[in-house]
Structure 1
Amino acid sequence: MNNTIQYKGYVGSVEFSEENGVFYGKVMGIRSLISYEGENAKELLDDFHGAIDDYLETCKTEGKEPEIAFKGSFNVRLSPELHKKLFIYATAHQISINKYIEDTLADSPAAQITLV
């Protein structure tokens, strides 16, 4: 079972409450709270789509830019020793640390995931 859903560039979680007998979730990667629920998969997806559409319409009405979760930039914390090694390697190969990390991650299993 996939525990995420996607719509218009947004990714939402999929959870199940045994106590309430409903599926629910929230949009991940943004500060705004966008939540949704449904008693079955179709209701969950319909509510997810409606919540995203409502969010985008509200932003448009208020003249705000909608939040974008995946801008292509994130912070990575690592040890000073590894940071130094990356710097030395990248400098020796005349590339930036960012380019080295991007190339390395592009070959990872996570990069092979197909987005819809």
Structure 2
Amino acid sequence: MNMHYKGYEAAVEFDEEAELFHGEVLNLRDVVTFQGTSAAELKQAMADSVEDYLAFCRERAEEPEKPFSGQFVVRTEPALHKAVSSAARRDGVSLNKWVTTALERAIK
């Protein structure tokens, strides 16, 4: 199960033996964890942990790491790169816009 707070995403698991939910914020270099025994407690614990992380970054005068920057590198075969670039030109859009649209369609 995943939870979200202020754009951050966390994976949550249930420890049956301890009767406790525990979560970890994903996609950060820093480790941000939380736990709770109910949904309400878990939501509050995640919010508190993210807020603590943001406060810690402010104290260090660092920008908090964003879970996703909106940029990633894709490596592909030259022939596919050429075909995608040609398709974007035919559609009258940038390669970036064409790929973004294709990815959006793929996840729906």
Classify the TM-score, shorter chain.
0.7 to 0.9
Q: Could you tell me which runs of 5 or more consecutive residues in structure 1 were left unpaired when the two chains were aligned.
A: 111-116
- Distance, in Å, in 1 between the alignment partners of 2:21 and 2:9 is 16
Partner SS, residue 58 of structure 1: helix
Q: CA 1:75/1:18 → structure 2, altered by over 3 Å: closer, same or farther?
A: farther
Superposition CA RMSD, Å = 1.9
SS at match of 2:22: strand
Aligned counterpart in structure 2 of residue 15 of structure 1, from 10, 13, 16:
13
Percentage identity across aligned positions?
A: 35
- In structure 1, how many angstroms separate the alpha carbons of the residues matched to 2:32 and 2:67? 13
Which residue of 2 is the match for residue 93 of structure 1?
91
Report 1:73-92 matches (<5 A): 73-92=71-90
**Structure 2 CA distance for partners of 1:95 and 1:59, relative to 1, 3 Å:** same
- Given candidates 24, 27, 31, the residue that maps to 1:33 is 31
Alpha-carbon deviation of 1:32?
A: 1.3
Deviations, residues 1-53 of structure 1 (Å, cap 9, x unaligned): xx111112211111112232211111112211101111221221111111011
2:97 aligned with 1:102:
no
Question: What is the Cα deviation at residue 84 of structure 1?
Answer: 2.6
TM-score (structure 1 length as normaliser): 0.79
Q: How does 1:52-91 map to 2 (within 5 A)?
A: 52-91=50-89
Aligned partner of 1:16: which letter? F
Aligned-partner Cα distance in 2 for 1:14–1:5 = 7
- Bigger CA drift: 39-48 or 51-60? 39-48
CA shift at 1:109, angstroms?
Answer: 4.2
